[in-house]
Amino acid sequence: MQVSVTPQVSLTRIETRPGAVVWLVRHGETEWNAQRRLQGQHDSPLTARGRQQALAIADLLARTLGRKAPVRLMASPLGRTRATVAPIAAALDLPVEYDPRLVEIGLGAWEGMTWDEIDAAFPGALDGCTPHERFFRPPGGERHEAMMARLGNWLGDIDGPTIAVSHGFAGRVLRGLYGGLDPLAALDLPQPQDGVFRLVDGQMEYLRAMMEEAAGMEEAAGP
């Protein structure tokens, strides 16, 4: 699969197998999210809000699917997705399968930095690039076509109901591949952290979790 990051990029759609349903979750808010730092394949802990978001999503999925549902639970192996999937696994009483194809875009030397810090440390690196293209500029970073290839490979393997806990940028690319969207337009999709995208029969819908219930669950859990 060869896809450019120019406006002339071609459309790509991954056909899922019969019976495939994907419940796509983004990890909860992290400290670097709150500080507007690029995370890529590095990690920072979930904030208190991020932990509440994970609990709320776990409650939503448990109420929707029930415990021990015939569903695969998969996640990126990065720390923030592990912290998000843990309450989901507990609520549904399911084992977790960690798949490296679900990791976030690799941002090389820029991971952990803000855009202002990048501009100061790498003079001219952001000159002339669009808000989308800058994610594919870092030294040692991942290219757009490589990211689409690994996520498309994962999506094409799904053959039944599956919960996938992944990341913001990766989730945009996955939804773009599922819906056959222009790859650059897909990068404009929202990337909320308080609910689940349900992908089924070529359609996508967003189910928002109830944060009020999650706050109560966090308090009940104790220190």
What does the pLDDT look like over 25-73, one tens digit per residue? 999 999 999 999 999 999 999 999 999 999 999 999 999 999 999 999 9
Q: In the prediction, which pLDDT does 210 show?
A: 78
Which candidate, 163, 143, 189, places its Cα nearest to that of 76? 163
Please state, in angstroms and rounded to a whole number, the distance separating the CA atoms of residues 212 and 215: 5
Residue 176 DSSP SS3: helix
Global pTM value? 0.88
Please state, in angstroms and rounded to a whole number, the distance separating the CA atoms of residues 164 and 6: 29
- Tokens representing 4 are 């450019």
Q: In the prediction, which pLDDT does 44 show?
A: 95
Query: Mean pLDDT in the chain?
Result: 89
Please state, in angstroms and rounded to a whole number, the distance separating the CA atoms of residues 139 and 110: 8
What does the pLDDT look like over 161-176, one tens digit per residue? 999 999 999 999 999 9
Catalytic residue numbers?
27, 104
Residues (pLDDT < 70) of the chain are 1-11, 211-223
SS3 content of the chain, % helix, strand, coil (to 5): 40, 15, 45
Q: In the prediction, which pLDDT does 23 show?
A: 98
CATH superfamily of 21-221: Phosphoglycerate mutase-like (3.40.50.1240)
